[in-house]
Structure formats: structure tokens, C-alpha cells
Structure 1
Amino acid sequence: MTRMPLAILDIGYPGLGLGGLASGTFSVATSGGNPPTGKADVTIRGLSRAGLVLSSRPIDVGVAALLSPDKLGLRAVIASGGKTIGRAQAQLAPLGEGDLATRIARARLFGQLRYSGPADTLWRLTGVELFDLSGPVAIGADVVGTLEAPVIRGVVRATNARIESGTTGTILSNVQASGRFGGSRLVIDRFAADAGKGGRVTGVGQFDFAARNGLGIDLRLQAANAVMINRDDIGATVTGPLTFTSDGIGGVIAGDVVMNKSRYRLGQATAASAVPQLNIREINLPEGGEEKAAPTRPWTLAIKARAPNQVMVSGLGLTSEWSANLQIAGEPQNPAITGRATLIRGDYEFAGREFELARGVIRFDGGVPANPALDIEANADSTGLNASIRVTGYALKPEIGFTSTPALPQDELLSRLLFGTSITNLSAPEALQLAAAVAALQDGGNGINPINAVRRAAGLDRLRILPADPQTGQGTSIAAGKYVTRRLYAEIVTDGQGYSATQVEFQVTRWLSLLSSISTLGRQSANVRISKDY
């Protein structure tokens, strides 16, 4: 063989995904019905295994083997970056009766493996892609028994390793683990890792190298304030037990946890971050027919999650905190959520104005992607007017409605709520903003809204058009603001004609805020605002 690509092995073993180039010699001889003899001297450059998401770090492997009528012996050296990181040797004797494959599989085995190098080099060769293991690992193992039923003895130690999942966004750092081989299993008797700021994960588990469908996994972890999901659309910091089990094809992540802190963004389908699945098969094979696809099964979730508070829900104009009781199933990259969340507090922003939420319920029905039903009401009282805003429908297409006492036409009601005055008294910029708000309502919340479009593009939390104020010398102005922290809000106001002001609000408690303002006209102020719900 001269630079033979290992990818051709996929013809006989679909989905194997090995890469690298093999060079060397291989010979087998037999005559007169006697057992075969042979030898091999092969070097593989850039041995790796590629999956849909991950590829193992290429390594170089040198193998020397000798087959005699009654035994098979081999030795291997593993190198990376010109440095030897592993050695292995094995002997199978005596070889029994039958064809060569049967004789080798049933012969008594004695083998040794010593490895000290990157964990990802070996881990990615397993083909498990739900999570990735990297960092230094040391392995010392002796193997006896047979290839069909190996008995392994030895130890594994990992120090300052890292486990990362691109599917869930989980990152476990400073992994400290030790394990021992027992039979065909690697038993992890000590595991500890950091999971986000102040979070911790500990546990035990085992990997079964003789599982029917490949690598069996049984991990039992205890999370303590650990960041276990960290994606753009959803995140969760949890405390409680979690298990990861697999028979070699797919697996189940189960748990019964309390969410210490979590976040969910409405209006963003969780399927957006899913990795596309490509179903490929080879047809017109030389012997005829089609390739039989390798058995596959996705990982699934079976998690109960409870949150007394600190479920932060954003999107669709909401900035809010909720409690929740949820059941999470489906696939990790596209979960199916069932249950409900109940409002604790929050605000709803519409057309540049912010209103305090009075009540709210979000119901998840297990749909994929998640599209929960909304029933949210915000107080929108104005001078001489009792009004409320209701957000109903579903997260991917919400419906917004207004009611008031006394009852008013929609455009007049919006004018009172947004600008505190009748529609007949609006300035031209205010009328434009009102027209955009009405258009958005008539189009189910999806109409053209230039104010919010600019706000989102600029990364601002608020963008408003303010009427002129003769007392301060301020013309019709634009106010742009952003939350520096959860409680500190800063806003800049300018009319483009020389007037500008900087306003800062710090929320001490839910009902007590400190406000300050400095303008170019030399006006400075400091205020205390107290609000109370009756």
C-alpha cells in the first residue's frame, strides 16, 4: 500500500468516517490446508475520524504484526506533532479452529496500552458527538480474556480537562476525573468540574466498550447552580440530578432539577440552532443494490424542571421574570417543552413606551419548534383613562389588543397612551410614530415600525420621539437608552438643534428609584421616584 486513503473502508462499513493515508506491506500465505501465516508493517499518517460536527485531531500510527500458525502478535506506536504519546502491544494465542477471523476473535488475549496525550484524539474516534472531551488524559490498561469478551484492568486520570457540547452550549471546565477499568467497562469513580461562574458538577459513571451498538454510556451527575444550557434562544442554570445513558446508538438525558436561573426568548424558534441532518446512501454498488444505512437514533430529553422565580423571558417587547413548571422532551437541539410559566413581574414595550405587566401566563404545548400560547396583560393607565394591553395568540404570531374606560377608538387610545394627549394635538414626528404603531397592530404585530427597527439595529433598549418642551427649551427630540445593568438605565436626549441631556435611573428596589439629569442648558437635577401598586 502507498498512501491508500482509509475513507474506502466506508464501502464495507458505512458511516465509519475514518481519514488518513496508509502505507506499508501486508502479506498472508497458506498452503495445503495449513493455518495461514503472515506479517504486516503499516504506517498510517493523519488517522482521524470525522463526524457531522467534530473531527478528531489527526495522529500518526505505526503497526507491526506477525501471524504464525498458533498465535498473532502486534505492536503499535502513536505519535502527534512528532512526539510519541502512546504505545500498545497485544498477543493472541493459541489460535483455535475455524476461519482466521473466528480463530482471532476466540483466542486468549493479553494486551497493554499506555497513553498520555490529548483526550480529544481518542474521544473523537468513538464517534460520540453530543459532547466533546478535550485536555490532557493519562491511560494505563492491561487487557486479558478474548476480543469477543475483553477483561480490562487499569486506570484513567484526567486533570484540567474540558467537556463541551455545541448542541446545548454546555461547557464544563477544570474537569478532574479518575477511573478504573473493570471487565469491558471504564468505571469513573470520581468526577468534578466547574460549570459557569460558581457552578459545579460532580458524579460517577461508566463507559461500556462491549455494548451491542458501540460505546455504552451511563453517567450520573449532580449539578449545583451549574450552567447546563447556554444557547441564543434558551439558557438554564440548574441544581439537581442528571443522567446520560446510551446503548451506543443515541441516548437519553434525564433529570429532575430546580432552575436557579434561566432565560427564554419568545419569537425565536428553537429549531433555528439545530444542526441539519443529511441522510446519504450510496446506490449502484458494484455487486448491485443499495447501501444499507447504518442504524442511527438521536439523543432525547426527559427532564422535569421547576423554577420558583428567575425565569427571565424576553422578546416581543417583554422584559420580565416568571416562575415555571416544565417537562422537557424531544431532541437537545430542538426540545419539546410542556408546562406553563406564571408572571412574577416585568414590563412590556410598545412603540417606544414601556408599560408594567399586571398578569401573565405562558403555556407550552410540546410543539416543535416551541410556539407557546400567550395570555399577558399590561397596565396602560393614563391621565383620566383606565386602559390595558393584552398580548394573546402564539409566540411566533402574537395578537395585541387594547381596552379602556371610557372606550375610545384605537388611534385615539394609542395617542393618549403613547403621548398623553389627543390625536388632534400630535406633532408630525409623533403622528408618524402613531401611524407605525397602528400599522403594526393591523398586521398582527408584523407591520412596518421604523422606530423599533432602528432601535433593534442600533442595539438599544429604548428609542423614543419626545414632544417639544418650551420650559426647558427642548425641541422635538429623540431619546436613546440602554440598560447598563439590570437596575441601571442610561439615556441620551437630543433635538439636533443644540439641546441635549443625559439621564440616569437606578432602581434601588421594585418601588424605589433614583434619577438624575444633566443638560446642555446648565440644568441639573436629582430625584427620588416612589411607586406602589394598590
Structure 2
Amino acid sequence: MKLSGQVVQQASGTLALADERLAVDVQIMQKEGRAGRLNGAVLIHTDGREVDVAELTVTLGRAPWRLVPSDRPPTVGWSDEGLVVSPLLFVGGAAGDERIAVSGSWRSDGQGALRVTATHMFLDTLEGAFERPASYGGVVDLDATIRGTPQEPIVKARVAISEGRVQRFSYQSLVGRVDHAGEMFDVDLRLDQSPGVWMNAAGTVPLAMFNPGLAERPIHLVVTSSSIGLGLIEGLTDVVRNVTGELRVNATVVGTSRDPHFQGDVGLTNAAFLVTLTGVRYQNGRAALTLASDRIGVDTLHIEDGNRRPLDAHGSLGTHEMTVGDLEIDAQAQGFEIVRNEFGRLAVDLTLRLRGRLETPRLGGVITIASGDLKVDEILARTLFQPYATEAMSTTVVDAVAALNPWDRLGLDISLHVPTQMRLTGENVQVSPDTPVGLGNINLRVGGDLYLYKDPGQPPSVTGSLDRIAGTYTFQGRRFDIDEAGSSINFHGDLNPEAYVSVTRLISGVLTRVTITGELRSPAIQLTSTPPLDQSDILSLIVFNTSTNQLSSAQQQELALRGATLAAGFFAAPLLSALESELGLDTLDIEPAGELGTGPKVTVGEEIAPGLIARFSRQFGSEPYDEATVEYYLARILRLRATFSDAASVSTRASFRRVERAGVDLLIFFSF
């Protein structure tokens, strides 16, 4: 049902009538968790069209407003001519210093005047009463007079808000008048953000601006400002920090409610800020925008990085019916820094074009890496293994700038040229989570050409290759040189490129070669040499500088463990088979990473006496441990197994197994 134009989802309570006294206690529920309550008593006059309000408490959410008692109870009367209210005064707030008063009449012939005043009313308390974050704050003083008829009301109001807030934007005061008649607002408001920093809006605004179903009406609103400090942006977003600079607005809104236009200009000077995500600080920013009836001209947009390298842009944005239409923005920069954080540093030359419409913009052009030093280990750790926050975040208001992120609506068509000035470094680069060994340490310089393409609402596509690779690669503690003629990283559309990287090192007269191939997230490794040797001998040369038949027993065990550990991080089945054969092992096994976050497990085993088998296992991952097992075959169906582990009260995440420090098991095998 509807009550005073508001949809009420549920109303429940009691009404009690005795000796012309009506007691009311009604709970009202609306959607979105809004609730209210009416509690009080009225004395009904004999004509049935007038009541004396003996007591009344109106509760909005958790905030009660109580009628101030008086010697003569206030009266509310109604008739065919209208509504008459003798002074009603409500108080609220913890200190009782918030007041709302209603008095006067509102008649169907338009002759009445109903006055509503609010004194020292806190917007935070009023909105927060409904148990949701308060979007508005401040202390309000209001004096409004309502005339006319319910069908065509005439409102004249003066409003003053001190210490105000809208979301995260705070201001010192908002003062002025707002009049309404004939579906038109006549406003004259001044906003003071801080001493000497103000914005004024004066003119007429049709109600149809907020209700498109109404008839089209003209608009004329003049907006002027002092130089406004850009630091107030930090109250709206975390995207940028340490913001300084000044903004000046001189604009007039003309046209109609369905097709408003802007005339005037907007200026920006001395802008500086730090981009939180990239860590780059920009300075000496300035902009000049010209507002015309059908277009916003970007006459100048200039910003410099920390090395005073500039980015300049110019162009225009078409406007029509409160929307931004055709985009024509061009930007150029040389050696402009775009990354400076824990992931490295990156500067680019760029020539970009922004076209299309605001709802589906398309960015095209050419970007050339001018200089770069990227830490691959940090980038992969963040993008592959920590793509989202691992800790619960408290509920906060929406970031006004981040909410405008156009990525999903954006189209891309960019050529990315990478000269060999770009350097890639990393220590123990990991491409899969919870693996005991990564790709190794890299120190590379790469070059090539990539092409970035994206349609609105679609994932990005990357094609091309980095086919100029030079530098060094550390494998098993040995530094290898990149084979520049035989190495490349190729993109075939997705963000999981195919790599073919070959490195060489001369060891004891043997040219050893390590080749990494396959997709980045699941690479394979191959060991070859000149003259040709078995893969186990090649690994032995790399690790111990000698062949496998020259290794001691302890070295053979370490080699087996290293080989198995290496295979746990790569696809290297041939290497495992070669090690088993060369070292005479009965068991060299790898269990892949588990689904519940456990890492891979490597097991080495050998039959040391008839029926007596010894195994050693190492579990990698977030809860690593070592485990030794001795198993004796008592009979065909009966075995005795003793287990020793350094897992101090570690319970693995496997569903059916618990790891203890020591234990003896008697195993019975049968089939049916």
C-alpha cells in the first residue's frame, strides 16, 4: 500500500479507541531495510475531522523524534478545503537539540501556507538510523514554506548545511535558497569547501531533469568558482594520493531538460599527484577546456613525470542530451614513465588515439618501450598466485574514480614495440604455485613486437613475439648464457605465451644445453649436450661437475632428489627415467600438487635387503616436511611399516591421512 506517496511493504501494531482517545502503536516496514514506528495518542473531536495530539513519537529506523508537550495540545484538522496544523514541535538527538517544527495550513484553493523548519538536524543521524552507511553528513538548518495546491505546490526554502559531507567529499558549508513552482526550480546556492575556496550555482532547473517523464522545459544555470584545491579528490578515491593543484570553473548550462549544453571554460593549473597502483608521481599538470553548445574542446592537457618528460593531449568530446558522444583525443609522449614500484620501472614513447563514444571508447596507436627494468618474479607472484586479496576487507563506500574504470567497455588496437632496452630480472621465478623449484634466476634483455587487441566486453588478445632475447639464466646454481639465435617467447592470443628458451654452458669440455619449452604456466625442460650424453649425466655435470659413475653414494642420493625436485616444477619424465636407470633406484616418484593447496611430493626408494624396502619422501608446499619409511614384507598379504617424520603435529590437508612424528603400522592386503 501507499502512505503519503511512499510504498509500505508491511504495517503491524495496535489501535485502541476508548472515550474518544485513540492510542496508536504501529510498526511500518519498507524495502531495503527501512523501518519506522508511530507511537502516541490523539483525542478525536466530535465532528471527526480534527484531533488533539496528546503525545506522539515518530521513530525513523533507530532515531526517535518526540513531540514536545505543551499546555494546550497541538491540533491537526482536515476538510475538503485542506489541512490545518497548529504548531507541532519534535525534538531528537541524544542531547535533544535537533528540532523539526510544522505549522500552518495547506489548502486546495492555494490560499494557505504550511511552514516547515528544521534546526540543528544531523544528516548522519537521520540516514544512519536505517542501519546502512550514511552517504550524506552535516548539520542542517531549513526554513521552508509550502503554498499552492497538492497538484501544483509552490515551495520557497532557505537551507544551510555546515560541516557537510557527500560520500567521502567534505565541505565547510552549503548555503542558499531553493524555490519550486510550476515544475521549475529556482536556485541560488554557494558551496564553500574551505576558506576562500567556493563554487556558486544560480539559475533555473526544470524538474524534468530528474524525472524524464515530464514535459521538456528550458534550463539556464550559471556555475562559477574560485580556484578550487584539487586535494579534495583524495576524499573521493584511493586511486591517486598527494594531490595538489587548482581547478577553476566558469560555465553556463543552457538548452532544455532533454538536451542541455554547456558554455564557458574550465581551467586546471599546477596539478600534481601520485598514482597509487603504479607508484609514479606526476607534476606540472595543466589543462584548458572550452565548453561549447555541442562539444567540449580539450585545448590543452599537459602532465610531466618525475623526470620532467611530458605527455600532451588535445582534441574534443561531442555532447548531446547529457551524454558524451564522439571522442577525438590524441596524445603523444617521449620517455614518459608509467611504472615505478615493486614491479620495476617502465618508460614509453607513445602516440595514441582515443575514438568512438564514451560508453564504448576505442584506444589505438603505437607504444614503444623507451626503457624498462621489470621484476618478473614479483609480477608473476602477484598476477598468478595472488590475483585477489587473501584477507577479508571491511565494507567501504564506493571509490568514485575506480567506479568509472572503463576497461570492460574499452576497445584496444595497439602495436607494442619492444627494443632490447627492456630488461627482465627475477630470482627463482615461479610459474606454478607450491612447486619446490622455479624457472631459476633470470637476467634478460628482450625485444620484439606485440599486438594488443580487445573488443568491448571481451577479454584482451595478445599476438606477436619477443624474438630478441639476450642475457643469462641461472640453472641449478650455474649461470648459463642465452642462445640468442634459438630463443623466443610467442603470444598466440591469450596471456599464457609459448616459450622456447635455450641456454648453454661449457662444463669440463662438454657444451651443456638446457631448453625450456611449452606454455609459460606448464613448461617442459630438456637437457642435451655436445658430445651427446644421457640426461642424468648432464644433470650430474651441472650439479657436481662430473658424470654419475664418479659420484659418491651421498651425491647420488642428492642428484636423485634434485632431479625429482626439478621434475616437480617442470614436465621432465625422460629425466626421471634416466636417473632411475643410471642410479639403480627402485623408486623415483613424484606426486603432483594436491587440489587443497598442498605442493608436490618427491619419493626416492630402494630395496636394501630381500623384502626390506626403504623410502625417503619430501613434501613441498605451504606445510613442508620430510618422511622416512621402512617396510618389511612378512608374507604375501602381511606387511610391517615403520614411519618417521619431522612433521611436528602437522595434519596434512589430504582427506584420509594424518602425518605423525613416528608410528608403526601392520598392513593386511586382501581382495574379493
- TM-score range (shorter-chain normalised) is 0.5 to 0.7
Give 1:363's aligned residue: 490
* CA spacing shift, 1:351–1:361, aligned 2, 3 Å: same
* CA spacing shift, 1:273–1:191, aligned 2, 3 Å: farther
Q: Any residues of structure 2 matched to 1:255-274 within 5 Å, and which?
A: 255-263=365-373, 265=376, 267-268=380-381, 270=383
Please tell me whether the aligned partners of residues 141 and 181 of structure 1 are also in contact (alpha carbons under 8 angstroms): no
Give 2:312's aligned residue: 202
1-side partners of 2:371 and 2:515: how far apart?
27
Please tell me whether the aligned partners of residues 343 and 361 of structure 1 are also in contact (alpha carbons under 8 angstroms): yes
TM-score by length of 1: 0.64
Aligned residues: 416
Please tell me whether the aligned partners of residues 211 and 247 of structure 1 are also in contact (alpha carbons under 8 angstroms): no
Please tell me whether the aligned partners of residues 39 and 66 of structure 1 are also in contact (alpha carbons under 8 angstroms): yes
Give 1:228's aligned residue: 338
1-side partners of 2:135 and 2:150: how far apart?
37
Give 1:312's aligned residue: 423
Instruction: Kindly report the root-mean-square deviation, in angstroms, between the aligned alpha carbons of the 2 structures.
Output: 4.6
The residue identity in structure 2 corresponding to 1:64 is: G
Give 1:321's aligned residue: 445
The residue identity in structure 2 corresponding to 1:362 is: I
Give 1:38's aligned residue: 156
Residues 1:90 and 2:172 are matched in the alignment: no
Give 1:302's aligned residue: 413
Give 1:75's aligned residue: 188
1-side partners of 2:208 and 2:466: how far apart?
66
What secondary structure sits across from 1:58 in the alignment? strand
Higher relative contact order (CA 8 A, sep 6+): 1
What secondary structure sits across from 1:418 in the alignment? helix
* CA spacing shift, 1:419–1:145, aligned 2, 3 Å: same
Give 1:532's aligned residue: none
Post-superposition Cα deviations, 1:205-254, rounded to whole Å, max 9, x if no partner, equal 44667675679975421011112345655864221212446855474443
The residue identity in structure 2 corresponding to 1:444 is: G
Please tell me whether the aligned partners of residues 7 and 19 of structure 1 are also in contact (alpha carbons under 8 angstroms): no
The residue identity in structure 2 corresponding to 1:307 is: V
The residue identity in structure 1 corresponding to 2:468 is: L
What secondary structure sits across from 2:307 in the alignment? coil
Please tell me whether the aligned partners of residues 415 and 423 of structure 1 are also in contact (alpha carbons under 8 angstroms): yes
What secondary structure sits across from 2:539 in the alignment? helix
1-side partners of 2:386 and 2:310: how far apart?
26
2-side partners of 1:58 and 1:40: how far apart?
21
Residues 1:384 and 2:509 are matched in the alignment: yes
- Structure 1 portions without partners, runs of 5+: 50-55, 279-293, 450-534
Give 1:394's aligned residue: 519
Give 1:494's aligned residue: none
Stretch moving more, 321-330 or 297-306: 297-306
2-side partners of 1:7 and 1:272: how far apart?
44
2-side partners of 1:89 and 1:363: how far apart?
57
Stretch moving more, 116-125 or 436-445: 116-125
Question: 1:196 Cα shift?
Answer: 4.6
Q: Any residues of structure 2 matched to 1:41-440 within 5 Å, and which?
A: 41-43=159-161, 45-49=163-167, 56-67=168-179, 69=181, 72-80=185-193, 82-92=194-204, 106-119=217-230, 121=232, 134-146=243-255, 148=257, 149-162=259-272, 165-166=275-276, 171-183=281-293, 185-197=295-307, 199-206=309-316, 219-229=329-339, 236-244=346-354, 247-249=357-359, 251-263=361-373, 265=376, 267-268=380-381, 270=383, 298-300=408-410, 301-314=412-425, 315=429, 316=439, 317-329=441-453, 336-358=461-483, 359-367=486-494, 370-423=495-548, 434-435=559-560, 437-440=562-565
The residue identity in structure 2 corresponding to 1:89 is: A
What secondary structure sits across from 1:380 in the alignment? strand
2-side partners of 1:45 and 1:250: how far apart?
39
1-side partners of 2:283 and 2:210: how far apart?
49
Post-superposition Cα deviations, 1:176-231, rounded to whole Å, max 9, x if no partner, equal 32333223654331222223535321121446676756799754210111123456
Question: 1:175 Cα shift?
Answer: 1.2
Please tell me whether the aligned partners of residues 178 and 188 of structure 2 are also in contact (alpha carbons under 8 angstroms): no
- Structure 2 portions without partners, runs of 5+: 1-117, 393-403, 430-438, 571-598, 603-672
2-side partners of 1:302 and 1:163: how far apart?
28
* CA spacing shift, 1:96–1:119, aligned 2, 3 Å: closer
Post-superposition Cα deviations, 1:61-116, rounded to whole Å, max 9, x if no partner, equal 41422426477432333333x524113131228x7999998889723414131132
Whichever of the two has the greater Rg, that structure is 2
Question: 1:8 Cα shift?
Answer: 6.3
Residues 1:23 and 2:140 are matched in the alignment: yes
What secondary structure sits across from 2:444 in the alignment? strand
Please tell me whether the aligned partners of residues 228 and 248 of structure 2 are also in contact (alpha carbons under 8 angstroms): no
* CA spacing shift, 1:391–1:66, aligned 2, 3 Å: closer
Please tell me whether the aligned partners of residues 176 and 190 of structure 2 are also in contact (alpha carbons under 8 angstroms): no
2-side partners of 1:185 and 1:101: how far apart?
23
Residues 1:4 and 2:123 are matched in the alignment: yes
Question: 1:416 Cα shift?
Answer: 1.5
Identity among equivalent pairs (%): 18
* CA spacing shift, 1:21–1:245, aligned 2, 3 Å: farther
Post-superposition Cα deviations, 1:129-179, rounded to whole Å, max 9, x if no partner, equal 987894222313131424634443433332331355445666432213233
The residue identity in structure 1 corresponding to 2:467 is: T
